[in-house]
Amino acid sequence: MSAGPVGETWETVSWVGDSASGFVRLIDQTRLPTEFVRIDCRDVATVWEAIRSLRVRGAPAIGIAAAFGAVLGGQGMVGGDSDALRKGLRDASEQLRTSRPTAVNLFWALDRIDRVADSVELPADQLLDRVLEEAQAIADEDKAMCRAIGRFGAELLPSGHNVLTHCNAGGLATADYGTALAVIFAAHEQGKSVHVFADETRPLLQGSRLTAWELQRRGVPVTLICDNMAAQVMKEGKVQMVVVGADRIAANGDTANKIGTYGVAVLAKAHGIPFYVAAPSSTFDLSLPDGSAIPIEQRDPAEITAGFGRVTAPEGIAVYNPAFDVTPAALIAGIMTERGVIQPVNAASIAATLGTAGVPH
């Protein structure tokens, strides 16, 4: 199936049908950029597998997929009583929580679903309708937050700037518009001249497979580079700003993002280039005072030794494959959120901007 024409828009994760018989539809991101394929998930196990295998990825999109996935867990209980339905929803939530450990949006979204299920007194069929409404609200709120992040971030992006980004923080990682890429999309739509350097993002190439694909289809000029070329393009004066997304942000501003982000931040500091993070309030975890407590997912060694099916390392070699790293707040010039840009990046500024309403804590 073709990857589609330039200018095409898409919905990364959506719910199709009613609460009792509907299902989750998502883009299989493992097939991009050569194939644009949507898959339908009709049970919790299929959603779990889609999250775990990165068919759906990006912190906000994972949260949305999990919220919709929890609804699937209640479908077989609609004919029974509300307590049976709640058990089905709770079992689904517990299963989905084991899919990936780092992105806090997963747990934040499921916490919202659990609270609704536990607090609303309705017949089983009406309760499942209410839970689906909450899951859809999570998706709709993310769309609005992404647009707001884009507006605030675009104010910091002058026309004529070259921006470097790492991994994928676009529409494929969210409900609609992205976080880091929302800043670029908004500036582009305002008529600003913007060019992007996209790191390929080893080992799974989210930058080359996904970010470059998104930017190209939205008509934004983009140049793909290998991860180890970032220092050189900075040294040559070709980059004026770095903008990345986030999977979890601690109370002091330490930020977990795709492995390699910390290195990019260090390089940006060495070259005097501002390094920004773009993320919604749902990505903050105020229960963690700093980034040292952020859980870092360890992934299959085969992603490095036999990536995309081709063996590139000796058999039996030891492999270390963390999916994320943590960038210290001291290296971050600002965090672009839907409530404004947090500057300077520290616990006091974060608390002043976000408070605690709607933020994990």
Sheet containing 334-337, strands listed edge to edge, beginning at the edge strand earlier in sequence = 222-225, 195-199, 162-165, 241-244, 275-278, 334-337, 340-342
User: Which candidate, 69, 71, 58, places its Cα nearest to that of 102?
Assistant: 58
Distances (CA, A) of 178 to 44, 168, 170, 311: 25, 9, 4, 33
Cis peptide before 295, with omega less than 30 degrees from 0?
no
Cα separation, 358 vs 348, whole angstroms: 18
Tell me if 127 sits within 8 A of 117, measured CB to CB.
yes
Which phi and psi (to 5°) does residue 248 adopt?
Answer: -160, 135
- Residues 111-120 as b/e (b if ≥16 CB within 10 A, e otherwise) read ebbbebbeee
Tokens of residue 46, six digits: 């299929």
Cα separation, 10 vs 21, whole angstroms: 23
User: Which candidate, 41, 104, 70, 52, places its Cα nearest to that of 247?
Assistant: 104
Q: Which residue has the tokens 């998706």?
A: 139
- Cα 195 from chain centre: 22
Distances (CA, A) of 210 to 31, 55, 248, 264, 352: 10, 12, 21, 19, 34
Give the DSSP H/E element, type plus range, for residue 257.
Answer: strand 255-258
Catalytic (active-site) positions: 247
Q: Is 290 left (phi over 0), alpha (psi -120 to 50) or beta?
A: beta
